[in-house]
Structure 1
Amino acid sequence: MLAKFIQKLRKKHNLTQEYLASALGISRPTYMQIERGERELTITEAEKLASIFGIPFEDFRRAKDSSITVEIKKEKLKPKSEKQEIRISVPQKNLEKFKEVLLYVLSKVGGKPNVGEAVLYKLLYFIDFDFYEKFEEQFIGATYIKNHYGPTPVEFKIVIDDMIKNGEVVKVEGKYFNYLQRKYLALRRPNLDILSGREIEHIDDVLARLSDKNAKEMEIYSHEDIPWKTAEDGKPLSYESVFYRNEPYSVRNYEDEL
């Protein structure tokens, strides 16, 4: 079977799924479908893999066994004017869930001296993007843009202003080690009926890993994550890029899924 043959060659050459997915221009989950035999290769992809593994195309196509026939789908050429479809183009917004996630985060770590607005931005970013990498589903689905200090949730100001107006949070401005800091404290408990057990567990995991970092540490840490590194200044970060993460940012064990 070609799928097992590819997996065997990848391991023989000590190559990662991430590397081959990047070489083929696809996401890691899509590449994993190839190794599981759930997705056929295009001719271009097959030729690329044969070249990477250093074997003739015909040997690769036959998995070194002439009795095995491998069907390879021909690529369909698309007009240049046709846009390439991606799984997530504009994330589905869920502002009510945004509020409850924010209240939950504030109830857990909002009282920490280091957790001001800048740290909150990064915590929300990792909650959203880590969840998407783990489950290939949207959580909050906020839009995060690339700025000098790291990922910034576009919807944050609208949500927080509404929550302040409704008496759900209070804004406190002060200093943290001589730096101006804007903090938010929760005035009501989060509605946990809106969050699933899996979502709460996920938030707790992110907070356990990152909530002790200060604003500068979070800035530096977020700047090395692939979604931020590959985005253009002032433009939205792509959720799809989480599938190209390296350690320590990747939160999904792809090898266990084979």
Structure 2
Amino acid sequence: MRAVILRACHACPPQDLGAVKLNKVLFYLDMLSYAYDRKPVTGATYRKRPNGPTSDQLLFALRDMARAGDIEIKEVDFHGYIKKEYAPLVEEPKGVLNEEELSLLNDVIDFVCHQNTARSISEYSHSLPWEMAEMGGEIPYRSAMLLFPMEPTPEAFEISEQGLAEVASSRSSTSPVALPLLRDFRSRILREAGQA
């Protein structure tokens, strides 16, 4: 978790990474990793909260990292609300995360921190895994597959219609394959058995 937090802090300016976004980085990293490889990166426990999934372990990890001098945590005014900002004070550890984990983490950071606001990512995170849990209840890793769309998109229908058209045109341009009738097959078997 320390390596993930430091990577997120190095990848985002402090004003772009508050508690809401940091929780979503952890959540999506672990859930997507579980969906792809059946194992989360951090193994944190996630709970349903009003602003989306949160990690049980994040506050403890941040406290320990601040005490160790790894990060600086500031409380700033953000439109009348108190927002926490995180600034890294040490380099990212090398070799803790493998290449696949780093690649996924970079994609998650880009999506959560650079393509969304805290409000939009909070609303986005109210997906099926979040909806299925009781408020304050654990969001199980086995629900990770529910993050992916369940309904076919219009593009999927277009592609399937194109495929059907290709199959239909190839059928009309070739002669049908002759298949023997079952009774003919049985008759042949009986004839050959009588000759033996």
User: TM-score, normalised to structure 2's length?
Assistant: 0.72
Distance in 2 (alpha carbons) for counterparts of 1:105 and 1:115: 8
1:214-233 equivalences in 2 (<5 Å): 214-223=117-126, 225-233=127-135
Shift of 1:126: 0.7
Indicate the RMSD between aligned Cα atoms, in angstroms. 1.5
2:98 maps to 1:196: yes
Indicate the SS of the match to 2:16. Answer: coil
Q: Deviations over 1:141-173 (max 9, x none)?
A: 100111111111000111111111110111111
Indicate the SS of the match to 1:174. Answer: strand
Shift of 1:112: 4.9
Query: Does the 8 Å CA contact 1:114/1:176 hold for their aligned counterparts?
Result: no
Q: Which has the higher helix share?
A: 2
Q: Which one of the candidate residues 13, 33, 36 is aligned to 1:134? A: 36
Shift of 1:123: 1.3
Q: Which one of the candidate residues 148, 159, 179 is aligned to 1:246? A: 148
**Which stretches in structure 1 are left out of the alignment for 5+ residues?**
1-97, 249-258
Query: Does the 8 Å CA contact 2:14/2:87 hold for their aligned counterparts?
Result: no
1:56-67 equivalences in 2 (<5 Å): none
Q: Which one of the candidate residues 41, 48, 62 is aligned to 1:146? A: 48
Query: Does the 8 Å CA contact 1:146/1:231 hold for their aligned counterparts?
Result: yes
Amino acid at match of 1:160: L
Q: Deviations over 1:92-127 (max 9, x none)?
A: xxxxxx011110111111x15232111111111111
Of all paired residues, the percent bearing the same amino acid is: 26
Q: Deviations over 1:197-223 (max 9, x none)?
A: 111001011112221222211110101
1:3 maps to which residue?
A: none
2:11 maps to 1:108: yes
Q: Which one of the candidate residues 37, 56, 73 is aligned to 1:171? A: 73
Query: Does the 8 Å CA contact 1:99/1:159 hold for their aligned counterparts?
Result: yes
Deviates more, 1:152-161 or 1:111-120: 111-120
Distance in 2 (alpha carbons) for counterparts of 1:170 and 1:201: 25
Shift of 1:246: 3.4
Query: Does the 8 Å CA contact 1:121/1:151 hold for their aligned counterparts?
Result: yes
Moved beyond 4 Å, runs of 4+ = none
Figure out how many residues of one structure are paired with residues of the other and give that number: 149
**Which stretches in structure 2 are left out of the alignment for 5+ residues?**
151-196
Query: Does the 8 Å CA contact 2:27/2:53 hold for their aligned counterparts?
Result: yes
User: TM-score, normalised to structure 1's length?
Assistant: 0.55
Distance in 2 (alpha carbons) for counterparts of 1:197 and 1:239: 22
